[in-house]
């Protein structure tokens, strides 16, 4: 198995780009920047690109876990990985969403967004305060808090037990979604389905597959096959309300998070196996790796750029094929800003922070079969 997972770094770019296209096209006539009719409504599946990131975090943290690193080392490095770029991007987001725009917030919601705990607030103002995309970092933060506490116990479980636990968690996601739709109003149901605890099974499936691959299990599938299945599923999911009964469409909406998590982890496993066999030429391209490395920064800035365009050109334009040119231009602007954030804030801050933190224990790490160097931090 490869020790440097370059292909997974590249995959991060595609997931971030899917989220960007979803936000650019929007989900309603008053949303988005300028709708591309050839991409909408299929671009709505891009909202679940965050599921890929949750699964990837569980996989990479487990793959690169070194028992010699204590909890203090882990928490220190996670803080340096997440917060510096987030805080810098928050300055621009606040200027655009609250300075140029009409959004309003309160002190509790704003501070919660800076601390990345806003997803825990049922009555945040607005629903996604601060930099709106960072609600997903509230989810990541819970997993980071739990990982050092549970990874030893998870590794001690048999693979079959891990699989059963993971499937039970994914079934629980579906049950929570169904219960929220049935018993709660729209606002409360939306908050429940953004709650960090609800997403833990998506991290767990990444953890489970990383452990299984380390133990010698293999997934008998190629990346291309997983991608084809995903595209077919995306079309069926998007058109379910047109092609199927209301019951089937509702069930597809309730199962989309577990299904995308399963497809995501199958793609990760297939790409790791492909890379180990020397077949991953496209995803080990240096340009794609660079785009993947800056994908966290891109995720932080892309919606701010979208909102800036919306505020600068407040009149909505009719959907048009020409919009794809503006979509690509907006992507290039977002990517340029992301590279600056990555090159001059994220990487230097992380290196500075790591040097001043607690040190790992090399001797203990050397004894661990999981002591590997992973390209592309989770």
CB-CB contact of 159 with 142 (8 Å): no
Q: How confident is the model at residue 105 (pLDDT cuts 50, 70, 90)?
A: very high
Give the pLDDT confidence score for residue 373 in this predicted structure: 35
**Tens digit of pLDDT for each residue in 159-200?**
999 999 999 999 999 999 999 999 999 999 999 999 999 999
Residue 179 is predicted with a pLDDT of: 97
What are the strands, taking DSSP E only, across 21-139?
none
Which residues 6+ apart lie within 8 Å of 288 measured at CB? 10, 13, 282
| pLDDT for 43 beyond 90 | yes
* Consecutive H or E run containing 212: helix 200-214
Phi-psi region of 26 (alpha: psi -120 to 50; beta: other; left: phi over 0): left
């Amino acid at each position: 198995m490869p020790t440097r997972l370059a292909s997974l770094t590249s995959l991060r770019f595609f997931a971030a780009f899917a989220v960007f296209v979803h936000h650019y096209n929007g989900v309603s006539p008053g949303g988005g920047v300028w709708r591309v009719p050839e991409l909408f409504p299929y671009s709505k599946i891009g909202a679940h690109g965050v599921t890929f990131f949750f699964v990837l975090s569980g996989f990479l943290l487990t793959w690169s876990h070194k028992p010699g690193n204590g909890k203090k080392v882990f928490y220190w490095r996670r803080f340096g990985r997440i917060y510096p770029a987030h805080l810098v991007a928050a300055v621009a987001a606040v200027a655009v969403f609250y300075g140029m725009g009409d959004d309003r917030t309160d002190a509790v919601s704003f501070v919660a967004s800076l601390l990345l705990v806003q997803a825990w607030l049922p009555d945040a103002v607005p629903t996604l305060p601060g930099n709106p995309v960072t609600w997903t970092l509230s989810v990541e933060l819970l997993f980071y808090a739990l990982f050092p506490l549970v990874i030893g116990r998870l590794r001690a479980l048999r693979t079959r037990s891990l699989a059963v636990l993971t499937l039970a968690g994914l079934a629980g996601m579906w049950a929570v979604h169904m219960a929220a739709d049935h018993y709660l109003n729209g606002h409360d149901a939306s908050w429940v389905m953004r709650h960090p605890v609800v997403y833990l099974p998506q991290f767990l499936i990444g953890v489970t597959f990383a452990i299984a691959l380390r133990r010698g299990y293999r997934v008998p599938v190629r990346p291309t096959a997983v991608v084809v299945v995903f595209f077919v599923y995306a079309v069926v999911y998007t058109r379910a309300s047109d092609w199927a009964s209301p019951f089937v469409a509702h069930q597809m909406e309730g199962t989309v998070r577990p299904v995308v998590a399963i497809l995501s982890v199958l793609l990760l496993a297939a790409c790791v196996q492909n890379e180990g066999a020397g077949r991953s030429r496209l995803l080990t391209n240096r340009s794609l790796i660079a785009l993947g490395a800056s994908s966290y920064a891109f995720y932080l800035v892309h919606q701010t750029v979208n909102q800036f365009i919306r505020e600068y050109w407040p009149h909505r334009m009719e959907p048009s094929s020409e919009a794809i040119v503006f979509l690509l231009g907006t992507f290039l602007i977002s990517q340029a800003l992301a590279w600056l954030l990555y090159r001059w804030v994220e990487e230097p801050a992380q290196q500075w922070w790591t040097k001043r933190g607690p040190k790992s224990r090399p001797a203990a790490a050397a004894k661990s079969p999981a002591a590997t160097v992973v390209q592309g931090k989770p």
